[in-house]
């Protein structure tokens, strides 16, 4: 086992028993949602995964270890620590060697999941190519990670704070397949249709698992995006979210927000500007993704070969 990994008792037992395990990120807890909704969301998502027959492994960096699976106090710690670092690929050696508290992004969670032998990871939205990236160069390292690390990422697409078209182009260039579930459209996080199509629609966990297994059996390294639209009842109005997104983007530009602060800034502004309604949508879609991810992990465990 890798020297930096520390498994929670629940995840350690799951590994011994050969149970399917689903990775979860922690930036969504520390930098993506306010307290106490963040910790409630984290607990509910773990519950959905257990109920579907898999074992949740929320990942974070605590006291020099990559923790795979968090106990209740550790979830609470991440949810309440303003000094938790947002950790992406670049930041992992720093936060580990300094013994700091770190919340892992999609990119860092993929790296840690792969180290831990976990192939399915559930989140809300992945990072992508930011609007205006042609001058800012702001492209999330989540996309590079998807290009190289063998983890399937279940998400609700990408937020329209990003340039969704360019994000999909980038993924295509790097050979990252984008699967959709239940519809041909690639979802836009708060809404079900981004106006772009996913590459392939695969509705059942069995088909998704077979696709993933085939990719890796071919030696085609890298991740897979499994995009699952927010349930209809929780989707937001496109016009409303578009105008709020524009306002948040303007504020970020005017305020000179840059680097790793951009995404958390935009997420927080959208939450405030929608008076918390976006938060309900956000929580609902992560739980829905947890269901799809757990079923996928079960199907992958049961595949022959």
Q: CA-to-CA distance for 106 and 157, rounded, in angstroms?
A: 13
My answer on whether omega of the bond before 36 falls inside 30° of 0, hence cis, is yes
The reply on whether position 105 binds ligand PSU by CB under 6 A is: yes
Give the binding-site size for ligand PSU (rule: CB under 6 A).
18
- Considering the complex, state which of residue 45 and residue 106 has its C-beta at the smaller distance from ligand PSU: 106
- Considering the complex, state which of residue 31 and residue 119 has its C-beta at the smaller distance from ligand PSU: 31
- Which of the stretches 25-33, 66-74, 168-176, 178-186 binds ligand PSU when contact is defined by CB under 6 A? 25-33
Residues 115-154 that bind ligand PSU (CB under 6 A): 124-125, 127, 140-142
Residue from the set 28, 164, 209, 212 that interacts with ligand PSU by CB under 6 A: 28
Which residues contact Mn ion by CB under 5 A? 138
The reply on whether position 32 binds ligand PSU by CB under 6 A is: yes
HSE-up (13 A, CA, CB side) for residue 52: 25
Phi then psi dihedrals of residue 86, to 5 deg: -80, 115
Question: Which residues partner with 57 through β-bridges?
Answer: 23
The nearest distance, CB 245 to Mn ion, in angstroms, is: 16
The nearest distance, CB 104 to ligand PSU, in angstroms, is: 7
The nearest distance, CB 106 to Mn ion, in angstroms, is: 12
Lookup result for tokens 């918390």: 276
Which element (helix H / strand E) includes 68? strand 65-68
- Considering the complex, state which of residue 46 and residue 138 has its C-beta at the smaller distance from Mn ion: 138
Q: How many helices (H) and strands (E) are present in the chain, helices listed first?
A: 13, 13
Q: CA-to-CA distance for 108 and 284, rounded, in angstroms?
A: 24
Q: CA-to-CA distance for 26 and 29, rounded, in angstroms?
A: 5
Q: Which of 25, 46, 145, 295 is catalytic?
A: 25
- Considering the complex, state which of residue 150 and residue 213 has its C-beta at the smaller distance from ligand PSU: 150
- Considering the complex, state which of residue 10 and residue 138 has its C-beta at the smaller distance from Mn ion: 138
Residue from the set 267, 297, 299, 300 that interacts with ligand PSU by CB under 6 A: 267
- Considering the complex, state which of residue 7 and residue 265 has its C-beta at the smaller distance from Mn ion: 265
Residues 189-228 that bind ligand PSU (CB under 6 A): 189
> Is residue 25 among the annotated active site residues?
yes
> Is residue 197 among the annotated active site residues?
no
For residue 37, count CB atoms less than 10 angstroms from its CB and return exposed for 0-12, middle for 13-18, buried for 19 or more.
middle
Length of the chain: 305
Residue from the set 10, 11, 25, 160 that interacts with ligand PSU by CB under 6 A: 25
Q: Which of 86, 159, 215, 260 is catalytic?
A: 159
Phi then psi dihedrals of residue 160, to 5 deg: -80, 5
Identify what 222 binds: ligand PSU, Mn ion, none; CB under 5 to 8 Å per kind. none
Question: Which residues partner with 120 through β-bridges?
Answer: 22, 152
Nearest one of 24, 26, 21 to 10, comparing CA atoms: 21
The reply on whether position 260 binds ligand PSU by CB under 6 A is: yes
CB-based contact 132:117 (threshold 8 Å): no
Beta-strand pair 120-122/191-197: unpaired
**Greatest pairwise CA separation for the chain in angstroms:** 55
Site for ligand PSU, rule CB under 6 A: 25, 27-28, 32, 88, 105-106, 124-125, 127, 140-142, 159, 189, 260, 263, 267
Q: Give the residue numbers annotated as catalytic, written as ranges.
A: 25, 159
């Amino acid at each position: 086992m890798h020297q930096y990994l520390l498994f929670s008792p629940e995840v350690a037992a799951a590994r011994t028993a050969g149970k399917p395990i689903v990775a979860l990120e922690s930036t969504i807890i520390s930098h993506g949602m306010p307290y106490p909704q963040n910790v409630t969301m984290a607990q509910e998502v773990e519950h959905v995964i257990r109920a579907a027959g898999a074992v949740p492994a929320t990942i974070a960096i605590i006291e020099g270890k990559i923790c795979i699976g968090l106990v209740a106090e550790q979830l609470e710690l991440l949810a309440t620590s303003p000094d938790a670092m947002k950790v992406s690929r670049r930041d992992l050696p720093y936060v580990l060697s300094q013994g700091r508290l770190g919340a892992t992004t999609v990119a860092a969670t993929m790296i840690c999941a792969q180290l831990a032998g976990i192939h399915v990871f559930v989140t809300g939205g992945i990072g992508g190519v930011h609007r205006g990236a042609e001058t800012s160069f702001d492209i999330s390292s989540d996309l590079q990670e998807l290009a190289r690390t063998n983890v399937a990422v279940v998400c609700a697409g990408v937020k329209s704070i990003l340039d969704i078209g360019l994000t999909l182009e980038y993924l295509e260039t790097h050979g990252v397949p984008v699967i959709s579930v239940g519809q041909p459209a690639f979802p836009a996080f708060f809404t079900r249709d981004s106006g772009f199509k996913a590459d392939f629609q695969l509705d059942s966990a069995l088909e998704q698992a077979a696709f993933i297994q085939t990719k890796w059996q071919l030696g085609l390294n890298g991740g897979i995006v499994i995009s699952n639209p927010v349930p209809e009842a929780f989707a937001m109005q496109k016009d409303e979210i578009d105008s709020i997104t524009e306002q948040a983007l303007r504020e970020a530009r005017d305020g000179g927000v840059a680097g790793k602060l951009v995404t958390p800034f935009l997420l927080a502004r959208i939450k405030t500007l929608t008076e918390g309604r976006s938060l309900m949508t956000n929580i609902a879609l992560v739980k829905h993704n947890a269901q799809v991810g757990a079923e996928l992990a079960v199907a992958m465990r049961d595949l022959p070969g």
